[in-house]
Amino acid sequence: MPRREKDLLARDAKRDIGRELLQAIRAVKSGKHGAKYQVTANEVVTTRLRCGLSQSQFAEALQISPRTLQQWEQGRRQPSGAADTLLKIVARHPEVLREVMAV
């Protein structure tokens, strides 16, 4: 058995899991639960929301796959070339995308 595993087993042997769970439940009920994180939306998300479109609608309007849009919104990929330029235009003038979609 690796040293690290032995250390973990020794530590866990001294724990009272029932007591720890009860403390956690009490903390949640009292509103003292976990850290709170605020995630700021990137420019792609902000632009889409300003247009008032769902992910699938926005992806369709840009003629890209919903998966590509999700990756842009999650910061896993960055739009490049024409897509980046189009997003900058739509960010400044969301009505243009709505007009194009209405045609």
**Per-residue pLDDT reduced to its tens digit, 59-72:** 999 999 999 999 99
**Per-residue pLDDT reduced to its tens digit, 23-56:** 888 888 887 766 666 667 799 999 999 999 999 9
pLDDT of residue 19: 92
pLDDT of residue 48: 94
Q: Name the residue type at position 41.
A: A
CATH code of the domain made up of 43-102: 1.10.260.40
**Per-residue pLDDT reduced to its tens digit, 63-101:** 999 999 999 999 999 998 999 999 999 999 999 888 888
- What residue ranges of the chain are covered by domains with CATH 1.10.260.40? 43-102
pLDDT of residue 94: 92
Cα 91 from Cα 37, distance rounded (Å): 26
DSSP of 48-60, one letter per residue?
HHHHT--HHHHHH
